[in-house]
Amino acid sequence: MKVIIDFFSRGTFWDVLGIFFQYAVFLYGTSLLIAYGVLAFLSLGSIRRYMKKNANADYNIIIESPLAPGISVIAPAFNEGVTIISNVRSLLTFNYPKFEVIIINDGSTDDTLEKLVSEFELVQVDYAYREKLLSKPVKRIFKSTNPAYDKLVVIDKINGKSKADASNAGINVAIYDYFLCTDVDCILDKDTLIKLIKPFMDAETSTVREVNGDMQIQEDYKRVIACGATLRMVNSCDVDEGLMIRVRPPRRILPRFQEMEYIRAFVLGKMGWDRINSVPNVSGGLGMFDKDIAIKAGGYDSLSLAEDMDLITRMGAFMTDNNKKYSVKYVPITLCWTEGPTTLKVFGRQRTRWGRGLAQLMSTHRKILFSPRYGRMGLIVFPYHFFYELLAPIIEFLGILFYIYLILTQQINWPYAIILIVFVYTYSVMITTIALLWDQITFKYYKTWGETIGLCLMAFLEPFIYHPLIVFFALKGYFNFIIGKKHTWGNMQRQGFSQPKRRTAVKAG
Amino acid sequence: MWNDLANLLFLAYEQFSLLPLFIEIALILIFVAVMATLIAYGSILFRRYNSSVYNKRLAHLSPIIEDLITEQVLLNENLGKDIPIEEIHFDQKALSNKIFRKPAVRQILIDTLIRYRKNFRGEVGELLRKLYIDMNLVEDSFAKLRTFKWETKIKALVELTQMDIPISDSMLLPLTNSVNPTLRAASRNAYIQLSKNEPFKFFDVATEPILPWDQMEMFKIITTTKDITIPNFSRWVSYSNNKSIVVFCLKLIAYYDQQTAIPSVLELLGTKDHRFRAEAIKCLGKLSAEIAEEKLVSMYTSQPVNCQIETLKALGRIASGKHLEFLKNEFLFSNNFDVQMNAARAIIRHNSQISRLMLNEIMETTNEENQLIIRHCQNPLIKY
Amino acid sequence: MPNILVIDDDDIMLKAIKNILNKDGFNVVTATDGKEAFDLLDHTIFDIVITDLMLPHANGLEVVGRLRHNQGNRNVGIIVVSSVGNEETITEAFRLGADDYLKKPIMAGELLMRIRKLIANKNSKTQFVTKKK
């Protein structure tokens, strides 16, 4: 009541605006926190469902089965000469009966290709290459003369300066119905293919209705178009020739924060979305896709800075445009370990790119936002990303400015302000801790309790150290997006290509 | 004393109720968040403690269990002497070890036995089963089957089928129609494996689809279970209304090369769903059904691309040589790359004198792009 | 005493085979992955190698292929023991030089019989006696 009375008795314009803003920010903040809370619940349901469903699944059956669908593993490589041999060797040892490994040498300037050729006894083959998806020209295609490596295909192409471009070339060569997109320097679990193909094979197939004694096929099944799994940092893990020996949270502080952030984003975010069939994105580090749909949707966009989410969005839009039901699945187990940036410079470049990518994505696919035609994607996924991912850094930044204004003009109600800050702080610590707890349900990745608790404690530091960085880099990304758009409209392509890519950024660290 | 406390609480509440609403909410949520965080920490530590206790126990028990199995089964003196398994007896003293009375230990024992069963069949496999029965672990499994939790029921079904223990129809059949897809699949699998006289009974009544993953499991069970009577699957191809069962039967027909099923598969070519039709064409190809060739070629032009490609593959498999000209024309004049590839492969697959001559002729006369396709398809290093 | 190397990533299978073969008078060395196997093969000469197909670090086909190119172990008898039932893979294994193939679950007696047969064949072909370096 007091607030309202004050509002009328004082009543200057700035006060009105101030109070309005205060309430708007409070409402926004509360709804965001509620959304996180809801996601936490959904995610628990989703994880438990997965665990129960697969507790007794005999994954070995698929290894022996002639009915196992084929999978093409696509991994672009750019100047990976140092590690390429052990990494490819590791990719060739998946537990799976029917797969091929397609390595795309994306115009490396080092000895990546030479090493591959001599180690795997490769020869150039006459290959009838057909460009279904756009990419820079493919120069040569190699196969091994050693039958032990008959699963390996190596593509040598002109550098397209993006992972998307290289992946497209790989998809063009892929012979199987599903493809797995990954990075050649990621450490993958041996059972990755089995675990990721299962959700595709668990999809409800069409049911039959009898009409006038005729067999009538109703096409009302949900086709799984993509499936992802959680990622973690490889930084302090023990890896032996591409094989994960021992998982540890990173020792250095920056990747350590990232590990925590990834767990929260995957376990709480993706798994929560999975429960209500609204997974927004399959991460670029590891994802399996239905090749047919991916090609029809146009494959990866080499101009996009968020090519992974862009692909999922277009695949989803394609399905909706053709009146077909679909779903994107996530499995709550970590199958892929990736190198997190360790220096602020590289990290900043990565996050600025993500920020820019998100802004670009939202603007490219703006017709989907709030469009009931696109179902969950238009009414849940996009609005969520618009308000709580895209706008969050902006609102947060404005909020801080407003606080500073209040402090300077001595209008601030300190006790209330502190209560609100403590509230947001404790809530964020709670959400992160819950995410780490859910993560423990699926699999105990860390060997000691010290490691686990050590990671949990990062949640207390996050709001002071890590979070401001993320907000700053996201804003920088948005800024670049607006500037980039204005100044290089006619030359978007060059601008896009000259951006440091996430993959190279990861390598540099 | 109590009054003071009550007064204090009342005062605090009065203060609290004077605060603006959003501050009140914030205060409550701070309390909730702090409690939730503490509980989360508690559960993380508790879970870890529990699992470390379990692992220690496992580390202690595994050698005991493995020794038991090694001594009683693997190195059993009576193995390899043509003594019937029923007459081989275990050392009762080793079996009656007190440790094997605890339910948790018995569960580990069952799991270990199953792992061994996956690696060994024959005498050793039979003896593992006998150990499972003699130690009365069957009762443990049946007890699990009677619980209400579906995931526990599945565990029981898996154990019983792995150990080849019959389950009565009255217990199993209702489960094959369960609303839970995972339980349904597990019980269908168990049914096929355990019901020796009529393993495919539920095909007649199944209304829910058999998912691809379940098809794979079922396929394995059908093709590896001993003394299973393989019926003529054309029965369901003709009469089942369940599309997934028909598709599954097509795969089984191809696997068992049931030539007598060709007429009923041919009937499917008239179906409206093109994916369904493609499966039927594929099946005919695998059966090398020469009789189907004319029909396939005559309906070819009206088909969507996926059916066309399946037709080309089928013609390559049948390889009668009657339609080489047709394949050649498709290769030379189709403007669909995949059609060209498959036509080329089909010609190569004929591997007859005429087909080789035809390829030579094509290579001499056609353009470079087409030559590349043929070289691609002929290269033994490229499988597809 | 004939030397046998068993490669499998399932420790239960390794222990079991080791026990069974030891009882019948074979000297058994085990490896759980391709790399470990290659290290052993570099230093030791074996009479028989029993390998699974799905292995960490190197698949079983690679093990088979390498063995046939390995100076010391070129004449070794190779038995592939795997749950893979896929015909192409089996053909490939034989093409690379496997002598025998057993599908899991295996029969212990059959494995023993095939090992003995392979050793007998080998001895009739070659005169020199293999020994540990």
Dump strand ranges (E) for A219-283.
223-233, 238-240, 243-246
Residue A257: closest CA among A470, A71, A492, A73: A470
User: CB of B111 within 8 Å of any CB in chain C?
Assistant: no
Q: Is the pLDDT of residue B301 over 80?
A: yes
Of B206 and B269, the one with more pLDDT: B269
Paired strand residues for C132: none
Q: A90 or A227: whose pLDDT is higher?
A: A227
CB-based contact C19 B75, cutoff 8 Å: yes
Q: Exposed, middle or buried by CB within 10 Å (0-12, 13-18, 19+), for C51?
A: buried
Contact B70 C12 (CB under 8 A): no
Percent of chain A residues past pLDDT 70, beyond the cut:
89
| Residue A288 parent element (H or E) | strand A286-290
* Cα of C29 to nearest chain B Cα, Å: 18
- The average pLDDT across C78-87 equals 82
**In terms of Cα–Cα distance, which of A435, A484, A425, A501 is closest to A460?**
A425
With tokens 């019937």, the residue in question is: B84
Q: Which residues contact A131 (CB under 8 A, 6 or more apart)?
A: A172
Distance (Å, whole) CA C93 – CA C90: 5
CB neighbours of residue A497 within 10 Å = 15
Q: Flag the least confident range among A326-335, C13-22, C41-50, C80-89.
A: C80-89
For residue B206, pLDDT over 90 is answered with: no
What pLDDT is attached to residue A478? 93
Residues in chain C with CB shorter than 8 Å from the CB of A90 are 57
Q: Is C55 on the interface with A (CB under 8 A)?
A: yes
Exposure b/e, A163-190, CB count within 10 A at least 16 = b: bbbbbbbbbbbbebebbbbbbbbbbbbb
pLDDT of residue B314: 94
CATH number at A94 reads 3.90.550.10
Q: Answer whether residue A506 shows pLDDT above 70.
A: no
DSSP H or E stretch at residue A216: strand A214-218
Which phi and psi angles does A245 have, rounded to 5°? -100, -45
Asked if C19 is an interface residue toward chain B (Cβ–Cβ < 8 A), one would say yes
CB distance C71 to C94 below 8 Å: no
pLDDT surpassing 70 at residue A330: yes
Res. C131: pLDDT tops 80:
no
pLDDT value at residue B98: 85
Q: Do C12 and B66 touch (CB under 8 A)?
A: yes
The beta-carbon neighbor of C86 closest among A60, A66, A149 is A66
Residue A7's pLDDT is: 52
- CA nearest to A497, candidates A159, A14, A147: A159
Residue with tokens 């998912």: B211
- Summarize pLDDT for A464-477 with one digit per residue, the tens: 999 999 999 999 99
CATH of domain C3-125: 3.40.50.2300
Report the SS3 class of residue A298. coil
> Mind listing the pLDDT tens digit for each residue in C31-41?
988 888 888 88
At residue A338, what are phi and psi to the nearest 5 degrees? -125, 160
Residue A492 has pLDDT above 70, yes or no: no
Q: How confident is the model at residue A211 (pLDDT cuts 50, 70, 90)?
A: very low
Confidence of residue A177 (pLDDT cuts 50, 70, 90): very high
| Burial class of B85 by CB neighbour count within 10 A (0 to 12, 13 to 18, 19+) | middle
**How high is the pLDDT of residue A212?**
46
For chain C, positions 73-112, list CB contacts with chain A under 8 A: 83-86, 89, 92, 95-96
Grouping H, G, I as helix, E, B as strand and the rest as coil, residue A81 is: coil
- With an 8 Å Cβ cutoff, are A61 and B216 in contact? yes
Q: Are A379 and A289 in contact (CB under 8 A)?
A: no
- Quick check: A2 pLDDT over 70? no
| pLDDT band, very low/low/confident/very high, at B240 (cuts 50, 70, 90) | confident
Percent of chain A with pLDDT over 90: 56
* CA–CA distance, A438 with B151 (Å, rounded to integer): 20
Query: What is the band of A174 on the pLDDT scale with cuts at 50, 70, 90?
Result: very high
- For residues A174 and A290, what is the distance between their CA atoms, to the nearest angstrom? 12
Contacts of C59 in chain A (CB under 8 A): 92-93, 148
Q: What is the Cα–Cα distance from C67 to C86, expressed in whole angstroms?
A: 22
Give the total residue count for chain B: 384
Residue A280: strand, helix, or coil: coil
Torsion of CA A279, A280, A286, A292, to 10 degrees: 90
| Partner-chain contact C56 A190, CB within 8 Å | yes
Residue A154 CB contacts under 8 Å (≥ 6 apart), including other chains: A102, A103, A104, A105, A113, A116, A117, A120, A122, A141, A142, A143
pLDDT at A499: 35
- Across the interface, which of B117, B119, B125 has its CB nearest the CB of C10? B119
The answer to the question of residue A431 being in a domain is no
Q: Which amino acid would we find at residue B255?
A: Y
How far apart are the C-alpha atoms of A247 and C91, rounded to whole Å? 38
At A250, the pLDDT band (50, 70, 90 cuts) reads: very high
What are the domain boundaries of chain C? 3-125
Give the list of residues 6+ apart from residue B75 with CB closer than 8 angstroms, or none. Answer: C19, C20, C23
Taking an 8 Å cut-off on Cβ atoms, the answer to whether A128 and B22 are in contact is no
- Give the range among A253-267, A381-395, A478-492 with minimum mean pLDDT: A478-492
Residue A342 reports pLDDT greater than 60: yes
User: Of A32, A35, A34, which is closest to residue A24 (Cα–Cα)?
Assistant: A32
pLDDT band at A118 (very low <50, low <70, confident <90, very high): very high
At B87 the three-state DSSP class reads helix
pLDDT for A205? 54
Query: What is the tens place of the pLDDT at every residue in B64-100?
Result: 998 899 888 888 888 877 888 888 888 888 888 888 8
Q: Averaged over A11-37, what is the pLDDT?
A: 78
Beta bridge partners of A123: A143
Which pair of tokens denotes residue A31? 């709804």
List, for residues B39-70, the tens digit of each pLDDT value.
999 999 999 999 889 999 999 999 999 889 98
d(CA A396, CA A471): 8
Given a cut of 60, whether residue A210 has pLDDT beyond it is no
Find, among A157, A173, A163, A165, the residue nearest to A106 by Cα.
A157
Helix (H) or strand (E) holding B6, with range, is helix B2-18
**pLDDT above 80: residue B298:** yes
Neighbours of C108 (CB within 10 A): 25
* Nearest C-alpha in B relative to C13: B119
Question: What pLDDT was estimated at residue A403?
Answer: 84
| Overall average pLDDT of the A371-375 stretch | 90
Query: Listing from the earlier edge strand, what are the strands of the sheet with A99-106?
Result: A122-124, A138-144, A152-157, A99-106, A71-77, A178-182, A286-290, A223-233, A326-338, A187-188
Where does the pLDDT of residue B2 fall: very low under 50, low under 70, confident under 90, or very high at 90 and above?
Answer: confident
pLDDT (0 to 100) of residue A204 = 64
Q: For residues A59 and A229, what is the distance between their CA atoms, to the nearest angstrom? A: 17
Residue with tokens 């005062």: B11
Q: Please tell me the distance in Å from A184's CA to the nearest CA on chain C.
A: 16
- Contact yes or no for A452 and B48 at CB 8 A: yes
Out of B36, B41, B212, closest to residue A201 by CB: B212
Residues of C in contact with B121 (CB under 8 A): 105-107
- Higher-pLDDT residue of C110 and A101 is A101
pLDDT tens sequence across A48-87? 999 988 888 888 788 878 889 999 999 999 998 888 998 8
Q: Are B187 and B168 in contact (CB under 8 A)?
A: no
Radius of gyration, CA atoms only, chain A: 24
Distances (CA, A) of B320 to A435, B262, C63: 62, 17, 41
A193 has a pLDDT exceeding 50: yes
Helix (H, G, I), strand (E, B) or coil at A122: strand
Asked if the Cβ–Cβ distance from B119 to C12 is below 8 Å, we say: yes
Q: What CA–CA distances, in Å, run from A446 to A113, A174, A319, A454, B50?
A: 36, 36, 40, 11, 15
**A121 pLDDT tier (thresholds 50, 70, 90):** very high
User: What is the mean predicted confidence (pLDDT) over A346-365?
Assistant: 92
Contact in structure between A272 and A381 (CB atoms under 8 Å): no
Whether omega before C105 lies within 30 degrees of 0, making that bond cis, reads yes
Mean pLDDT of B256-269: 92
Q: Does C62 touch chain A (CB under 8 A)?
A: yes
What is the DSSP pairing of strand A223-233 with strand A326-338? parallel
Residues of B in contact with A123 (CB under 8 A): 381
How far is Cα A357 from Cα A341, in angstroms, rounded to an integer? 18
What is the separation of C-alpha A490 from the centre of its chain, rounded to a whole number of angstroms?
A: 30
pLDDT of residue A504: 34
Mean pLDDT in residue range A108-121: 93
pLDDT band at residue B253 using 50, 70 and 90 as cut-offs = very high
**Percentage of chain B lying above the pLDDT 70 cut:** 100
Q: What is the ipTM of this complex?
A: 0.85
Q: What is the mean pLDDT of residues C42-71?
A: 82
* Cα gap B176→B159, rounded to integer Å: 17
pLDDT of residue C122: 78
Residue B221's closest chain A neighbor by CA? A61
Higher local confidence (pLDDT), C6 or B200: C6
A156 DSSP β-pair partners: A105, A140
Sort A397 into a burial class: Cβ within 10 Å, 0-12 / 13-18 / 19+: middle
Sign of torsion over alpha carbons A95, A100, A104, A110: positive
8 Å CB contact between B65 and B112: yes
Q: What is the pTM of this model?
A: 0.86
What is the C-alpha end-to-end distance of chain B, expressed in Å? 87
With a cut of 50, say whether residue C130 has pLDDT above it: no
Domain of A127, in residue numbers: 59-245+279-340
Asked if residue A382 belongs to a domain, the reply is no
In whole angstroms, give the CA distance from residue C114 to residue C111.
5
With a cut of 60, say whether residue A498 has pLDDT above it: no
- For residue A217, what pLDDT band results from cuts at 50, 70 and 90? very low
Specify the long-range contacts of residues B140-143, CB closer than 8 Å, at least 24 apart: B140/B103, B140/B106, B140/B107, B140/B110, B141/B110, B141/B165
Location of structure tokens 């700035």:
A14
| Distance of residue B79 Cα from the nearest chain C Cα, in angstroms | 9
Q: How far is CA A48 from CA A37, A57, A441, in A?
A: 17, 15, 8
Residues of chain B found within 8 Å of residue C16, distances taken between Cβ atoms = 70, 74, 116, 119-120
pLDDT digits (tens, 9 = 90+) for B138-159: 999 999 999 989 999 999 999 9
pLDDT in tens, A261-315: 999 999 989 999 999 989 999 988 899 999 999 999 999 998 888 899 999 999 9
Q: What is the reported pLDDT for A13?
A: 67
